[in-house]
C-alpha cells in the first residue's frame, strides 16, 4: 500500500472510530464496527494499527495535532501582519471554535477522555494537551513582555483557562445554541479576552 493510499485509509479509520466511540463509548466499540463504518476489511485495521488501543491513541495524536497546528497558524498569521499578541490570541480563539465546529465528535471525545485517568493513553493525552496549551501560553508570555498584558497574570493558568473556555463554549454552542453563528460566538469570547465585559455602576 503506497503512502498516500495508506494515509487515506488511516483517515477513514480515524473518522469512523471517533464517530463510533463518541456515540457509544470506547469499550462498547469493536474493531469490526470500526472497519464496517470505514468501509474496509477488518484486517486493514490491524495492518494500520496493532490494536484498538493504538488506533485510539493515534486518533488523539492526529486530532490534537490538527488543533495545535490550527492555533499556531492563526496566531502566526496575525503577528506576521503586524498585529498585536492579544490579537493573535483572539485569532486562536476563533481558530479553536472553527476546529471544534468542524470536528465536534472528536472534541466531545477529547474532553471526555481528559476526565478519565485510568486509560492506557492518559500520559499521551496529557502531553498532547500540554503541547496545545503551550501555543497559547507562549503568546501570552509575548503579550506580557510587550506590555500588552499585566505582568501580574498567571500565564500558565490563564493559558489553560482560555483553552478550556473555547472547548466548553464551543460545545455548548453546538449542542444548545446551534442557531448562533461562529462570528457571534467569537465576538462574545473576544469581549472577555479584551476585558470589555464590565458595566458601569449605577449610582
Contact call for residues 35 and 41 (beta carbons, < 8 A): yes
User: DSSP labels for 99-143?
Assistant: HHHH-HHHHHHHHHHHT-TTSTTHHHHHHHHHHHHHHHHHHHHHH
Which has more pLDDT, 201 or 18? Answer: 18
Contact call for residues 150 and 144 (beta carbons, < 8 A): yes
Mean pLDDT, the chain, rounded, equals 89
Distance of CA 201 to the CA centre of its chain: 37
Task: Return the pLDDT at 56.
Answer: 86
Which residue intervals of the chain bear CATH 1.10.10.60? 1-49
Q: How is domain 1-49 classified at the CATH fold level?
A: Arc Repressor Mutant, subunit A (1.10.10)
Which DSSP state fits 202?
Answer: P
Contact call for residues 84 and 143 (beta carbons, < 8 A): yes
- CATH 1.25.40.10 assigned to domain 57-193? The reply is no
Read off the pTM: 0.86
Amino acid at each position: 500500500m503506497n503512502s498516500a493510499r495508506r494515509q487515506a485509509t488511516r483517515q477513514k479509520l480515524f473518522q469512523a472510530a471517533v464517530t463510533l466511540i463518541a456515540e457509544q463509548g470506547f469499550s462498547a466499540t469493536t474493531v469490526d464496527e470500526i472497519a464496517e463504518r470505514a468501509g474496509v476489511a477488518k484486517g486493514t485495521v490491524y495492518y494500520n494499527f496493532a490494536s484498538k488501543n493504538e488506533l485510539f491513541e493515534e486518533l488523539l495524536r492526529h486530532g490534537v495535532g490538527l488543533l495545535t497546528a490550527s492555533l499556531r497558524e492563526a496566531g502566526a498569521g496575525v503577528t506576521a501582519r503586524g498585529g498585536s499578541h492579544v490579537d493573535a490570541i483572539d485569532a486562536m480563539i476563533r481558530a479553536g471554535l472553527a476546529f471544534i465546529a468542524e470536528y465536534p465528535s472528536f472534541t466531545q471525545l477529547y474532553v471526555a477522555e481528559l476526565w478519565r485517568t485510568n486509560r492506557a493513553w492518559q500520559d499521551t493525552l496529557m502531553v498532547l494537551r500540554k503541547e496545545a496549551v503551550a501555543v497559547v501560553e507562549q503568546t501570552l508570555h509575548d503579550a506580557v513582555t510587550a506590555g500588552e498584558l499585566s505582568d501580574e497574570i498567571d500565564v500558565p493558568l490563564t493559558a489553560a483557562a482560555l483553552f478550556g473556555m473555547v472547548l466548553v463554549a464551543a460545545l455548548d454552542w453546538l449542542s444548545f445554541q446551534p442557531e448562533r453563528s461562529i462570528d457571534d460566538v467569537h465576538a462574545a469570547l473576544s469581549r472577555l479576552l479584551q476585558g470589555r465585559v464590565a458595566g458601569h455602576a449605577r449610582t
